[in-house]
């Protein structure tokens, strides 16, 4: 499951960058996103259409999460700050955030898999 977990983390990180970009109205990567502040950027700093489509798909999956998980995902991946600050904003402790993120990863993964199967079925 480690490879699947890394895949979902990557998809959510790309979604977070895309979401932050949409919220500040910038073109390309956002000026600040909790994920991008911690890692180097590659390429010209602009999204390709595939990433946008992938991000929109993840946005749909995130919207389907229960509210407490949706809020946790948005805080964890998009909001700036330390994990302690995020825990305070969500009125829970760090371990609760990690458990919620793990569950959100599972649900997003299941949603994406189901969505993919529906698309394949529709093509047949």
123 CB contacts (<8 Å, ≥6 apart)? none
Supply the pLDDT for residue 49: 43
Total domains in the chain come to: 1
pTM: 0.72
- Rounded Cα–Cα distance for residues 57 and 53 (Å): 6
Does the residue 44 lie in any domain? Answer: no
pLDDT per residue as tens digits for the range 91-104: 999 999 999 999 99
Does the residue 99 lie in any domain? Answer: yes
Domain range for 8 is 2-38+49-123
pLDDT per residue as tens digits for the range 2-52: 577 899 999 999 999 888 876 554 444 444 555 555 544 454 454 444 447
- Rounded Cα–Cα distance for residues 11 and 116 (Å): 14
Does the residue 29 lie in any domain? Answer: yes
Does the residue 9 lie in any domain? Answer: yes
Does the residue 43 lie in any domain? Answer: no
């Amino acid at each position: 499951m480690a490879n699947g977990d890394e895949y979902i983390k990557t998809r959510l990180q790309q979604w977070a960058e895309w979401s932050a970009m949409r919220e500040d109205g910038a073109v390309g990567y956002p000026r600040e996103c909790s994920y991008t502040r911690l890692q180097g950027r590659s390429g010209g700093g602009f999204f390709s259409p595939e990433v946008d489509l992938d991000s929109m798909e993840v946005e749909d999956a995130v919207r389907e999460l229960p509210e407490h998980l949706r809020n946790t995902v948005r805080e964890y991946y998009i909001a700036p700050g330390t994990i302690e600050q995020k825990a305070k904003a969500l009125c829970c402790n760090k371990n609760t955030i990690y458990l919620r993120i793990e569950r959100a990863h599972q649900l997003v993964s299941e949603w994406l898999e189901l969505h993919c199967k529906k698309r394949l079925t529709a093509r047949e």
